[in-house]
Amino acid sequence: MTPIAALLFAAATAFADPAAIDQTVAEFTGAPLGTPGGAAQGVDRRLKLAACRNPLSLGWYAGRRDTVLVQCPDAAGWRLFVPLLQNALAPAQAAPAILRGEAVTILISGEGFTVFQPGQALDGGAVGSWIRVKNAASAGAEPVRARIVRPGLVRLDLGTDLP
């Protein structure tokens, strides 16, 4: 076999790692696999998705926060729809972890950094819910949507392809 043929054969048989996709989805949602707000189940190990040369693109499918769209942006890329596990209790039934107007800490994280900022909740909600918060340190800043991690703490993950 020639070196070029060997490279083509290796490229044709290289597949994306489903566990790595699961981890990327968990980082995007801020919730581990199988927990409320995280992927309902792992990516099917039987799928033979081509290895992606570029970083995966993740976003919310159709603007709803119940399914993550995972895409390989390569020319011959692919896309997956990953349904999320919803809270066992309806939001109205779940105990609120944060109340509207409450002071919160905003955890902002991205690739290689983490920042904590004081904020104020513009909505109330239970752990795992998405609420609007404003940064207390920036008077004119627009409110952002963040996920409630625990009472008093919300998380905003920054990525390259946020909706």
In this predicted model, what pLDDT tens digit does every residue of 2-54 receive, in sequence order? 555 544 554 555 899 999 999 999 988 888 998 888 899 999 999 999 999 99
Q: Which domains does the chain show, CATH number per domain?
A: 3-83 (no CATH), 103-157 (2.30.30.760)
pTM of this structure:
0.51
Banded pLDDT at 152 (limits 50, 70, 90): very high
Give tens-digit pLDDT for 89-143.
444 556 789 999 999 999 988 778 889 999 999 999 888 888 999 998 887 889 9
Exposed, middle or buried by CB within 10 Å (0-12, 13-18, 19+), for 7? Answer: exposed
3-state secondary structure of 105: strand
Residue 135 and residue 95: Cα distance in Å, rounded?
24
Give tens-digit pLDDT for 47-84.
999 999 999 999 888 767 789 999 999 988 999 999 99
pLDDT of amino acid 66: 86
pLDDT of amino acid 73: 92
pLDDT of amino acid 17: 94
Tokens encoding 162: 């946020």
